[in-house]
Amino acid sequence: MIRMVYVNGDFLAEQDAKISVFDRGFLFADAVYEVSTILDGKLIDNNAHLRRLARSLSELSMAAPCSDKELVAAQQKLVELNGVNEGLLYLQVSRGVADRDFGYPAHSDSSLVMFTQTKNVIDNPKVKTGLKVISIPDIRWERRDIKTVGLLAPCMGKQSAIDAGADDAWMVQDGHVTEGTSNNAYIVTADNKIKTRQLGNEILSGITRTAVLKFAKQAQLEVVEEAFTLDEIANAKEAFITSASLFVMPVVNFDGKDIGDGKPGPISQQLREIYIATAQERADL
Ligand code: PMP
C-alpha cells in the first residue's frame, strides 16, 4: 500500500509530495511540530497536542496554517486513508516559502505537512527489558519549551548513546538533568517520590508528562517537580521516561550502572498500565 501524506491541503502519494527548497523549515528550521499517538485508529490527547502547537506558533509569531477544525478533519482523513490502527501522526508547520533572509518575511503562508507511521506502540519489546541511558551535556538552545524542528543536538545525543551501546541519553545542565533527547526524564527516590524537572524554558512540557503526573497523583504517589542530579539517579529506586510514542518506558541502567535491581520498576510499570488503560478515554477523534 502506498502511503498518503498531506501537504498544504492536498492528500498525495508520498512520492508525489513536494516542498519548496525555499521553505523556511528546510532553510532555518523555522518550523514547529507535534507527534500524536494513534490507538485503535484514534488520536490520543490530540487536543492537548493542538494547544501546545498553538503556543509554539504564538511564541514564534507564526500564523496557524488553518483552523483547528480544518486541521483535525485533515488529521482524521489521513489516518483513515492510510488505515492506521496503531502508530503515530506527525505534523509540521513552517513559516512557509520566502527568498532566503533571516528576518521573518512580511508575507508568507504557513505550510502544513503531515504523515503517519504504523508502529506497535503498546507491544514495545523494551518495556520488558528497560532502557540503558547515558548522560550527555545539554548543548541545545535556551527555548526548549518551543517544539521546533531544530533537532540536531538531540540527534547527536541519541547517536552518541547508540555508539555507546545505550538506548538514549539524558541531557545535563549545571549538574542537573533537563530531559531525554526526545522525552521527559523521571526518577523514583528511595522514599518513593516521583521526581521530574519543573517546567520552564529548559524543557518541553510533555503532553504525556502532564497525563502521567495526574495519574500518579490520583494513585496517591507523591510527585516532586524539581531538577535532580546524577548522584540522585545513582541512589534512585527506579527511573523512567515519558513521550507520546513511548508512553511510560522504564530506565534500568544509567551511565553503565544498574538502577535499583536493574529491572523495570513497579511504579513505572503501574503508570504505564494506567496510561494505556485510560488512553481510549483520552482519544479525541
Ligand atoms: N522532551 C522532548 C525534548 C521531546 O522531544 C519530547 C517528545 N517530542 C518530549 C519531551 C515528550 O513530549 P510528549 O509527551 O508531548 O511526546
Domain end position, chosen among 118, 134, 161: 118
**Cα–ligand 1 centroid distance for 134 (angstroms):** 18
Measured from the Cα of 244, ligand 1's closest atom is: 16
**Cα–ligand 1 centroid distance for 100 (angstroms):** 30
Q: Is the pLDDT of residue 162 over 90?
A: yes
Q: Please write the tens of the pLDDT for every residue from 86-113.
A: 999 999 999 999 999 999 999 999 999 9
**Residues identified as active-site:** 147
Mean pLDDT, to the nearest integer, of 70-91? 98
Nearest Cα residue to 195 out of 175, 216, 215, 181: 216
Residue 267: C-alpha distances to residues 7, 169, 208, 250, 278 (Å): 41, 21, 16, 9, 16
**Sign, CA torsion 118/121/125/130:** positive
CB contact set of 79 (below 8 Å; sequence gap of 6+): 38, 41, 43, 89, 116
Residue pair 22/98 in contact by the 8 Å Cβ criterion: yes
What element of type H or E holds 167? none
Q: Name the residue range of residue 146's domain.
A: 126-281
Q: Is the pLDDT of residue 285 over 80?
A: no
Are 197 and 277 contained in the same domain?
yes
Mean pLDDT, to the nearest integer, of 205-233? 98
Q: To the nearest whole number, what is the mean pLDDT of the chain?
A: 97
CB contact set of 191 (below 8 Å; sequence gap of 6+): none
Amino acid sitting at position 119 = K
Mean pLDDT, to the nearest integer, of 191-200? 98
pTM (two decimals): 0.97
Predicted pLDDT at 284 = 81
Are 78 and 174 contained in the same domain?
no
**Cα–ligand 1 centroid distance for 34 (angstroms):** 9
Q: Could you tell which of 181, 243, 272 is best to mutate to test the pocket of ligand 1, judged by most ligand atoms within 8 Å of the CB?
A: 243
Instruction: Please state the domain count of the chain.
Output: 2
Are 130 and 254 contained in the same domain?
yes
- Measured from CB, residues less than 6 Å from any atom of ligand 1 are 35, 179, 182-184, 204, 206-209, 242-244
